[in-house]
A and B are shown apart, each in its own frame.
Chain A
């Protein structure tokens, strides 16, 4: 479950996009229609990140022993 999600979801990208959206919304030159679209996108991203954080597990695998 988590590995499939991890392969398609990248925290760092999602967080980066979310921060860009916030910066856009806080900037002075903002189009209201675009702002509403971006707000929707941002809310979805925030939800996705929270869900992944709650569900994703760490994986550990020993690949080599005493090289």
Chain B
């Protein structure tokens, strides 16, 4: 011995300083095992290869992908000896290495989103049929950009496209795209649709579009989204979370705007429908008018018929009335005739008059009066002989009568 001793803590501290000096940052690739998350905050796992194992530690917030045992990952980390004497790597970044791990992480995250309802069809919004202003999020350097613009130009006219330049692969891609979507949503009234596109590439190239934060921002966008990533067979989680999933960037262009040739045909069809509706209306009007005239004709004929019937009825009635009247007249005439004094005279009665006035009592006769008796045929005038014997005369008169 003889050497000056140091405490355990001093030793740990010294070792950590040495480690930090020699390996301030290491990148290690290996297979994950014993993966676990404590208190929803701390992540512990081992990295191993065929012969060795090293412990790793990181926080949940640094996780960008779903990790599970068996995945091959690459970690950027700082080696450290803990105060409990355990050696471990404090991980700053972790990324999936190899197709198998990428695929597995994709499946895990997809299952998680499905469980949360991020892909539910009923929450998908329809894009406007004819958008006028959209925001395009992609890289101008990518072929997807030119493909998209060329299809839009071929199909449509009058669309205003604002473009935000972003990287579409690599470490910063997801972050830049998230920022672009958040920017668009900060002035959401300006844009009717968000278009996010990227051409084909390896599954690692397309990883940004499976980034959890990016997928959640697409899902949460207040502006409807259309996402077209990679080739037809490539499916990204951002596409599944979008309102409209396009198979490719050119498919996104086709889904975004209608084809003006089809629209012109549609307009022509509308014009011809309008015209035939108008012609049919006019001919309906004509037919209505014809129906009206026809019904009027029938009505007039009916009226004529009714008038003729009424006339005939009236004639019959008048004839009847006239007949009745003439009968009445004859009766009246008969009555009148029967009351005619001369007719009475024919039955043997006579009228006596004195000085032209009819007398109805002998008292109306005075001596010396001339009595005229009217018979049915002729008159008799009797003159008094002035004997003063009225009674005798009366009797005489009566006798003479």
Contact = CB atoms under 8 A, between A and B. Distances in A.
15 contacts: A11-B132, A18-B270, A22-B273, A35-B281, A39-B275, A39-B278, A43-B274, A46-B268, A50-B264, A55-B157, A58-B153, A60-B136, A61-B160, A62-B162, A67-B183
A62 B164 contact: yes
A43 B158 contact: no
Given A46-B267, A50-B267, A55-B157, 11 more contacts: A12-B129, A15-B263, A22-B270, A25-B273, A39-B275, A42-B274, A43-B271, A62-B165, A66-B166, A67-B166, A67-B179
Interface of B: 128-130, 132, 136, 140, 149, 152-153, 156-167, 176, 179-180, 183, 260, 263-264, 267-268, 270-271, 273-275, 277-278, 281-282, 285
Contact of A58 (B152, B179, B271, B281): B152
B157 A57 contact: yes
Given A12-B129, A56-B158, A67-B183, A36 B278 contact: yes
A67 B278 CA distance: 57
Given A2-B157, A10-B132, A67-B183, A61 B163 contact: yes
Contact of B158 (A2, A39, A46): A2
Chain A interface mostly: helix
Interface string A26-45: 10001010011001001100
Contact of A63 (B129, B162, B263): B162
Contacts of A35: 277-278, 281
Nearest to A35: B281
A46 B274 CA distance: 11
Enumerate the 5 nearest inter-chain pairs by beta-carbon distance, A residue then B residue, closest first: A56-B158, A56-B157, A25-B277, A65-B165, A67-B179
B156 A58 contact: yes
Contacts of B166: 66-67
B148 to A, nearest CB: 10
Nearest to B140: A62
A60 B149 CA distance: 8
A43 B272 CA distance: 10
Contacts of A54: 157
B353 to A, nearest CB: 95
A53 B263 contact: yes
A20 to B, nearest CB: 11
Contacts of A63: 162-164
Contacts of A62: 140, 162-165
Interface residues of A, number: 40
Contacts of B179: 67
B183 A11 contact: no
Nearest to A11: B130
Contacts of B267: 18, 46, 49-50
B186 to A, nearest CB: 11
Nearest to B155: A58
A26 B270 CA distance: 11
Nearest to A36: B278
Nearest to B285: A32
Contacts of B281: 25, 30, 32, 35
B270 A19 contact: yes
A64 B157 CA distance: 23
Nearest to B153: A58
A56 B179 CA distance: 32
Contacts of A11: 130, 132, 158
A3 to B, nearest CB: 8
A49 B263 contact: yes
B303 to A, nearest CB: 30
A65 to B, nearest CB: 4
A58 B161 CA distance: 8
Contacts of A19: 270
A52 B158 CA distance: 8
Contacts of A53: 157, 260, 263-264
B110 to A, nearest CB: 27
A58 B165 contact: no
A56 to B, nearest CB: 3
